[in-house]
Structure 1
Amino acid sequence: MNGTTDRSTAERTTSSEDRTDELPKDRYSERELSWLAFNNRVLDLARDAGRIPLLERAKFTAIFSSNLDEFFMVRVAGLKRRIDAGVAVPSVTGMRPRELYDAMLTRVHELVASQAALFQDEILPALRAEGIDLLRWGQLTADERARMDELFTERIYPVLTPLAVDPSHPFPYISGLSLNIGVLLRNPANEARQFARIKVPGILDRFIRLAPTRFVPLEEVIIKHLSELFSGMQVASSCVFRVTRNEDVEVEEDDAENLLFALEKELLRRKVGRPPVRLEVEETVSDELLELLAGELDISEREIFRLPAPLDLTGLFDLADVDREDLKYPNFLPKTHPDLAPVETSSEADLFKAIKRHDVLLHHPYDSFATSVQRFVEQAASDPHVLAIKQTLYRTSGDSPIIDALIEAAEAGKQVLALVEIKARFDEQNNIAWARKLERHGVHVVYGMIGLKTHCKLILVVRDEPDGLRRYAHIGTGNYNPKTARQYEDMGLLTCNPIVTDDVSRLFNHLSGMTAETSYRRLLVAPNGVRSGIIEAIDREIEHERAGRRARIRIKVNSIIDEQVIDALYRASRAGVQVDLWVRGICGIRPGVPGLSENIRVISVLGRFLEHSRIFWFENDGHPAVGIGSADMMHRNLDRRVEAIVSITNQRHIDEIGELFDLAFDEDSVSWRLHDRLWRPDTRDADGGPKLDIQEHLIARTAERRQTTRTPRRTLFIQRPGVLPDR
């Protein structure tokens, strides 16, 4: 696992390849269908009236819609592009592109029908019963209609731009995910019909607040005033519609300098030239209007989704502002990690002193991001003894204090390197803007490596101390985004262990200087070392099992679809190794199949926080090899991204991670369990009562832990067997 291959490793690899031939051909689950199963689990949260507060159920309905938007923009669009190009290569499950496309659309139609029924029949009435009303125009009072008439005249009408289609005005370009009103007009003079389109302005509130808990959709108000927009014409019919387009970015990379301009050009093309992949229309649409839309957009019947109003349920995110705390999750404020808590004589902790005492394992959002990772960068920026800061930035927020801290450090004369991944999907424009801002303030900005996305989460700080230069590092599983750090579950390691910091330093040199570095002591680094390192660890567990020693594999990831890793886990199961997989999203493995995977368990945990950490645990005969990092078990992570996994060696941290796995796989904890290819919710006990919600339990346990003060203890840098043994 140290990047070298000895004779026994080579023999083991050859033997593994031979055994792969014995595995059944239908051993994988289809990636796209597995993702749709994940989104159905999100919808399960919206369905769960017994456990989930009402406004949170509405939010999960919005998350389902938002997820599906991205699925169409990327996955469906990509598959459709391959079909149009005549690429007929089957997937690993044997499904050909057209067959898979049909299966995906069939399943999506089922899911959106289920979502619509859930919202119309359960969530809307439940909201109404609580005094929260999403109204149609006909449900408004006379006074409310009068107020909307005035609002339309003063605030809405001035920003609308009706576009008519006639011989001199072609059919307008419909931007992706915009909400639109299609109108069929009749000229009373000659009965001629004409189409017009109105884009619902995104700069106005989607749901207009009539009262603190009474709302009407903006499009409803516009539709009821169409006669004012088309004076002298008669409105024959109208409907709200929404188009989804291929929004994935493809650029040819020649060098980093050209990449910036090529990506900007491609982002412009994203706005004006991408083909549609989905048309959503109100179910009341007239045949004539639907036929016109489908023809102009060149979209097939299967890609059309007729839905009850209102369309675009991502608008339900707006309900989060309703002042009904009793219908939401209880407020949660992250706490400062006890190892980073300030001493009594100071209002702020000295993080460098804390990290010198021993490594700190962070678990967000339970441990505050602001008083740990963010404070680490801010203190480094203001500390006169710090000489250099290096950081990777994959996604960050527009008003990030971390960006401000890097600028402050550069302006103070420190050497600051920011590796900004401008190819981060859907954040390309934001990252370009922040990269240029950083450059203007003297930060050295690197745009990543040609052909690879830089997805690892790393910070390196070089500090001049009385006994010489010392390096401090943070290696994490999540983005350096203060906003998502309150919503995503992630882990991170703060350390000044010289072996780890040397690895991180050499990795940064590789990223910024294009060195040929591939060998590390406490890191696994993709694309050269993560897959081989994980498979080697799996094979080691197989050897332990066969020798009668303690063996077990526990992995937590967002997705697992890499065939080589899956096959290695199948071999482990066949050898008798217990394999526990905690997978939030896509899972290509089939657990519980006789003769293949009886020893594999797969669970998924969904809740108020998005489970995002990646953790790897190998029993190793009672000396666990444990690591955390940025890599999922997917081809893109293992082959086309720079990822990093760091080994955890502090026994207290190893125990903490072990307890987390124990909690997740406990029969009394809420989860979804995968049986072959079928996910089943496991949320109720035998008596029908709710099982333990892991996230709520961790919130409570974190709060209890903060009530006592832990005396920091110094931990020697004892090198225990990790994800990578030291050389």
Structure 2
Amino acid sequence: MNAASDIKVAAAKEKPASRFFNRELSWLAFNRRVLEEAGNVAHPLLERLRFLSISGTNLDEFFSVRVAGLKEQQLEGLEHHSHDGLTAGQQLEKISEAADALIADQQRTWIELGERLAEVGIEVAEASNLTEAEREWLRGHLAEQILPVLTPQAIDPSHPFPFVPHLGFALVFSMVDTADGEPVSEVLMIPASVPRFLRLPGMKSRYLAIDQAVAAHLDLLFPGFQLIGAGAFRVLRDTDIEIEEDAEDLVRHFRSAIKQRRRGRVIRLEFAAGTPVELETLVRAGLSAEHALIAESGGLIGVADLGILVDKEERPDLKFQPYTPRLPERIKEHGGDCFAAIRGKDFIVHHPYESFDVVVAFLRQAASDPDVIAIKQTLYRAGKQSAIIDALVAAAEAGKSVTAVVELKARFDEEQNLLWASRLERAGVQVVYGFMEWKTHAKVSMVVRREGAVFRTYCHFGTGNYHPTTARLYTDLSFFTASKRAARDAAKLFNFISGYVPPKGLELLTLSPVTLREKLTGWIDGEIANAKAGKPAAIWAKMNSLVDPLIIDKLYEASEAGVKIELIIRGVCCLRPGIAGMSSNIRVKSIVGRFLEHSRIWCFASGARLPHAKARVLISSADWMPRNLDRRVEVAVPLENATVHAQVLDQVMVANLIDNEQSWSLDGSGNYTRVPAGKKPFNLHTYFMTNPSLSGRGQALEGKKVPKLRLEQGG
């Protein structure tokens, strides 16, 4: 961030803190909306269980990253205040209260879902309720398949407390040796390789949690010992990786940091209900967790693990009806030739409704086409089984010039990205790691092809990652173009990342941390000027998070100048909507449903009533957060082709705004209320699953109308 931005941030902090919602509490509110979907009877039963599991996974990451950062601030005595005026300690206190309430609701939801599942033949049984045949099978299975993997460890001066990794699950016992009457403390780690739930034999789907199975057969592990007390615990550690600016070798630094992350500070300890106090004290001391947040679970420890049951069960009647993404007709009518389709006109592929295979096919065609001479690609998250990596390797082995920007700082994908980087380098790909202090978060592909006497460049810009799994679950946009301006700007972007060459004279793209904040502020100022001039003025924006205080202040200014602002913020939103004299013209909604809303779309009315062909419409890889605008390499791409423009503005954005089956409305107090479906129920996910996109229809579908979406209350 430059000096001018620093001054503006300092000035923003002098204004009343009540202008902002707390970021961490807003995130917890988002995860509560995820949990609410577990109680949504409109969803199939196993999908409700999946939402419960997702809420658990989300909460684990929240503690290991966000809470870990606040805990470090508190322990180091830093006097940093959040934008809503809270110290780290004050935030931790509020987080603990809200998180405990959320976890209690998770447990209540699990009890309810467990009862509903049992009614349809899926049961997580109690050890005390097993049949005689099940007990006999379980004892033999434990003795032969499970116990050989387990290693009980006594805790005494010669046996120090064992290391328990992040997300580690363990049992703890106090016992007495019946031979000599000596007390013994034992810790039993449950390795990740051991299934959390054991499927019991029989026609019915009956499961038993591994901790219950082991606890019911302690005589197999501890013959000759008498049990005095027992408990279970789970560990969450600080998983953030600090970037050392003076690191001489970024790859070596990350390889070392990934190993150290396993031993990060214990942030949270979850104990099973009924764990004796003396055993809790033993665990806290053994893990050096004197500063950890302590929680006692009223039921199942590790709600995230319930996703295992969803994956195990072959019950299509209890899951969403399978959906197969369609291939855009425009690609089909060109015989699968991506380059010919892109040459014909710009188009957008709308994931997951339209297949991610188009993106893979684009790069595979580039790899095999003898006229393609160069490929440049950013990689933030590519997944474990990546066809994108295969295509880049094939291109390099075919003798093409291939450059891959691999982001090592992609949280929780650092290790996988190191593996991909190594494979790419072995194949002859020029691997670039980008900036030490900035993450390269932009999603860009660039293919240079010889066509006659000239070179033509084909570009792909995405709002999501080049990840085959998330592309089936996240809603994102893939924009393909052969625009010369886009090509020249994309080349400057890659030169910026690989050679630190400042991108001067950009013609189409807007990049952070170079010009994006300034341009975004200018676009909002343009709407303010139109409102003051009596012209239609409106902003529609869709993104994952809205946090940046400077942008929020600018939106407040726009609101009170008369700009109508509609925001679709799936997750964290620090802006307070609907406050008289501050944000009276701002409405905020959040959509949580079958697919994860992930695309970032920004629309500015530009003097015409939205939706309108004159509006400025952009897609981006960036949310409106300080990190995206100041500490990441991001791209915003304007959509100028009329059909693409209409698809994103009149189809995608309007569908998001009129959805009333998966939407929540945010009020000025921070409360989210589910939007009632009313007399005209509309589900945007169902709409896009059943209707072709505008720009990808092709000539074969030109005569078939896509249902016109109408915004009842426009800006």
**TM-score interval, normalised by the smaller of the two chains:** over 0.9
Distance in 2 (CA, whole Å) between partners of 1:539 and 1:470 is: 36
Distance in 1 (CA, whole Å) between partners of 2:63 and 2:166 is: 11
Q: Give the aligned partner of residue 540 of structure 1.
A: 526
Q: Give the aligned partner of residue 631 of structure 1.
A: 622
Q: Structure 2: 5+ residue runs without aligned partners?
A: 609-613, 704-715
Matched, 1:318 2:305: no
Q: State the 1:237 CA deviation.
A: 1.9
- Give 1:157's match in structure 2, choosing from 141, 147, 155: 147
Contact 2:647 2:694 in 1 (8 A): no
Q: Give the aligned partner of residue 553 of structure 2.
A: 567
* Per-residue deviation, residues 133-162 of structure 1 (Å, max 9, x unmatched): 011211221111111111111111111111
Contact 2:643 2:695 in 1 (8 A): no
Larger deviation, residues 293-302 vs 501-510: 293-302
Contact 1:282 1:306 in 2 (8 A): yes
Which amino acid counterpart does residue 241 of structure 1 have in structure 2?
A: F
Distance in 1 (CA, whole Å) between partners of 2:14 and 2:242 is: 38
Larger deviation, residues 260-269 vs 408-417: 260-269
Q: State the 1:88 CA deviation.
A: 1.9
* Per-residue deviation, residues 371-413 of structure 1 (Å, max 9, x unmatched): x111101110111110011100000111211111110000000
Matched, 1:358 2:345: yes
Which amino acid counterpart does residue 152 of structure 2 have in structure 1?
A: P
Q: Give the aligned partner of residue 137 of structure 1.
A: 127
Q: Give the aligned partner of residue 558 of structure 1.
A: 544
- Give 2:171's match in structure 1, choosing from 164, 175, 181: 181
- Give 1:118's match in structure 2, choosing from 89, 109, 124: 109
Q: CA RMSD in A?
A: 2.4
Alignment TM-score, normalising by the size of structure 2? 0.93
Contact 1:683 1:691 in 2 (8 A): no
Q: State the 1:519 CA deviation.
A: 3.9
Q: Give the aligned partner of residue 601 of structure 2.
A: 615
Q: State the 1:19 CA deviation.
A: 11
Q: Give the aligned partner of residue 706 of structure 2.
A: none
Which amino acid counterpart does residue 86 of structure 1 have in structure 2?
A: G
- Give 2:458's match in structure 1, choosing from 472, 475, 498: 472
Distance in 2 (CA, whole Å) between partners of 1:19 and 1:510 is: 31
Distance in 2 (CA, whole Å) between partners of 1:711 and 1:166 is: 75
- Give 1:327's match in structure 2, choosing from 297, 318, 335: 318
The number of residue pairs the alignment matches comes to 691
Distance in 1 (CA, whole Å) between partners of 2:48 and 2:695 is: 30
Q: State the 1:131 CA deviation.
A: 0.9
Which amino acid counterpart does residue 696 of structure 1 have in structure 2?
A: T
Contact 1:580 1:602 in 2 (8 A): yes
Matched, 1:268 2:259: yes
Which amino acid counterpart does residue 450 of structure 1 have in structure 2?
A: M
Distance in 2 (CA, whole Å) between partners of 1:682 and 1:90 is: 32
Change (3 A) 1:451 1:375: same
Larger deviation, residues 72-81 vs 226-235: 226-235
Which amino acid counterpart does residue 238 of structure 2 have in structure 1?
A: N
Which amino acid counterpart does residue 23 of structure 2 have in structure 1?
A: R
Change (3 A) 1:22 1:180: closer
Q: Secondary structure at the residue paired with 1:710?
A: helix
Distance in 2 (CA, whole Å) between partners of 1:468 and 1:251 is: 43
Contact 1:355 1:494 in 2 (8 A): yes
Distance in 2 (CA, whole Å) between partners of 1:564 and 1:703 is: 35
Matched, 1:695 2:685: yes
Q: Give the aligned partner of residue 41 of structure 1.
A: 33
Contact 1:105 1:302 in 2 (8 A): no
Change (3 A) 1:490 1:708: closer
Q: Secondary structure at the residue paired with 2:691?
A: helix
Q: State the 1:711 CA deviation.
A: 6.4
- Give 1:304's match in structure 2, choosing from 286, 294, 298: 294
Distance in 1 (CA, whole Å) between partners of 2:214 and 2:333 is: 56
Superposition pairs of residues 357-376 of structure 1, within 5 angstroms: 357-370=344-357, 372-376=358-362
Q: State the 1:697 CA deviation.
A: 2.1
- Give 1:593's match in structure 2, choosing from 551, 557, 579: 579
Q: State the 1:518 CA deviation.
A: 4.5
Matched, 1:640 2:631: yes
Which amino acid counterpart does residue 367 of structure 1 have in structure 2?
A: E
Matched, 1:515 2:501: yes
- Give 2:673's match in structure 1, choosing from 660, 675, 681: 681
Q: Give the aligned partner of residue 22 of structure 2.
A: 30
Larger deviation, residues 68-77 vs 16-25: 16-25
- Give 1:279's match in structure 2, choosing from 246, 269, 289: 269
Which amino acid counterpart does residue 365 of structure 1 have in structure 2?
A: P
Distance in 2 (CA, whole Å) between partners of 1:683 and 1:234 is: 57
Q: Secondary structure at the residue paired with 1:157?
A: helix
Q: Secondary structure at the residue paired with 1:463?
A: strand
Q: State the 1:683 CA deviation.
A: 4.4
Which amino acid counterpart does residue 267 of structure 2 have in structure 1?
A: V
Contact 1:492 1:628 in 2 (8 A): no
* Per-residue deviation, residues 421-459 of structure 1 (Å, max 9, x unmatched): 011101111111110111011111011112111000000
Matched, 1:526 2:512: yes
Q: Give the aligned partner of residue 211 of structure 2.
A: 219
Q: State the 1:705 CA deviation.
A: 11
* Per-residue deviation, residues 30-53 of structure 1 (Å, max 9, x unmatched): 10011000101101101212x111
Which amino acid counterpart does residue 285 of structure 1 have in structure 2?
A: T
Contact 1:361 1:494 in 2 (8 A): yes
Q: State the 1:17 CA deviation.
A: 10
Contact 1:249 1:266 in 2 (8 A): yes
Q: State the 1:169 CA deviation.
A: 0.9
Alignment TM-score, normalising by the size of structure 1? 0.91
Q: Secondary structure at the residue paired with 2:229?
A: strand
- Give 1:407's match in structure 2, choosing from 393, 400, 404: 393
Change (3 A) 1:691 1:297: farther
Larger deviation, residues 702-711 vs 196-205: 702-711
Q: State the 1:712 CA deviation.
A: 8.1
Matched, 1:336 2:323: no
Contact 2:521 2:554 in 1 (8 A): yes
Q: Secondary structure at the residue paired with 1:474?
A: strand
Contact 2:406 2:431 in 1 (8 A): yes
Q: Secondary structure at the residue paired with 1:416?
A: strand
Contact 2:409 2:439 in 1 (8 A): yes
Q: Give the aligned partner of residue 720 of structure 1.
A: none
Identical aligned residues as a percent: 38
Distance in 2 (CA, whole Å) between partners of 1:17 and 1:152 is: 60
Q: Give the aligned partner of residue 241 of structure 1.
A: 233
Q: Give the aligned partner of residue 436 of structure 2.
A: 450
